């Protein structure tokens, strides 16, 4: 990680909190090393969609307890259809956050596990979920 130049060091501050500032020109290394949620076509937008989708949030949180089968996930994440669960898991697998392990048996037996990177994401997501659960009762919309 010592590959950054001096100007790269400047940009590596709290980038997200500096959304309103003019971004300094990015070197090629910077462009390759980091996404930018505020850029319309940045791939990070797609990943964010997957992670922050309703089902994505709940699946990541549920998997924090350890490996789960498709049907176990289906039951824990109340309200999700098989269709949406399958799609969500495909996305998260494609993002490298979830590992899928299929056994060569019938009926199908498939297990899903968080990758190390998935565990990081899930921890952040769980923190947000926790915050929402703790604060929802204070919200005006809740009192209506």
Partner DNA sequence: GTCTATAACTGACTATTAGTAAGTACGCAC
Partner DNA sequence: GTGCGTACTTACTAATAGTCAGTTATAGAC
Binding residues for DNA, rule: CB under 7 A, are 53-55, 69-72, 74, 80-84, 86-87, 89-90, 100, 102, 106-111
Q: Please identify, among the stretches 2-10, 58-66, 81-89, 104-112, the one whose residues bind a second copy according to the rule CB under 8 A.
A: 58-66
- Given the complex with a second copy, which of 72 and 110 has the nearer CB atom? 72
Of these, 8, 11, 42, 84, which contacts a second copy (CB under 8 A)?
42
- Tell me the closest approach of the beta carbon of residue 16 to a second copy, in angstroms: 4
Rounded CA gap, 134 and 139, in Å? 10
φ, ψ of residue 63 to 5 degrees: the values are -75, -10
Identify residues 102-141 at the interface with a second copy (CB under 8 A): 117, 120-121, 124-141
Longest dimension (CA), the chain: 57
- Tell me the closest approach of the beta carbon of residue 142 to DNA, in angstroms: 18
DSSP characters over 17-71? GGTTSPPPPPPHHHHHH---TTSTT-HHHHHHHHHHSHHHHHHHHHHTTS-EEHH
Strands across the sheet containing 109-114:
68-69, 109-114, 98-103
- Tell me the closest approach of the beta carbon of residue 6 to a second copy, in angstroms: 20
- Tell me the closest approach of the beta carbon of residue 92 to DNA, in angstroms: 12
């Amino acid at each position: 990680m010592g590959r950054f130049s001096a100007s790269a060091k400047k940009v590596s501050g709290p980038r997200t909190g500096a959304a309103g500032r003019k971004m300094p020109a990015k070197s090629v290394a910077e462009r390759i090393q980091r996404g930018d949620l505020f850029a319309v076509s940045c791939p990070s937008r797609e990943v964010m969609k997957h992670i922050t989708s309703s089902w994505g949030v709940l699946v990541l949180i549920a998997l924090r307890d350890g490996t789960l089968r498709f049907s176990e996930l289906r039951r824990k994440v109340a309200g999700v259809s098989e269709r949406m669960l399958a799609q969500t898991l495909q996305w998260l697998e494609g993002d490298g956050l979830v590992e899928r392990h299929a056994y060569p048996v019938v009926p199908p037996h498939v297990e899903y596990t968080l990758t190390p990177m998935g565990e990081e994401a899930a921890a952040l997501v769980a923190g947000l979920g926790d915050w929402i659960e703790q604060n929802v009762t204070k919200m005006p919309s809740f009192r209506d």
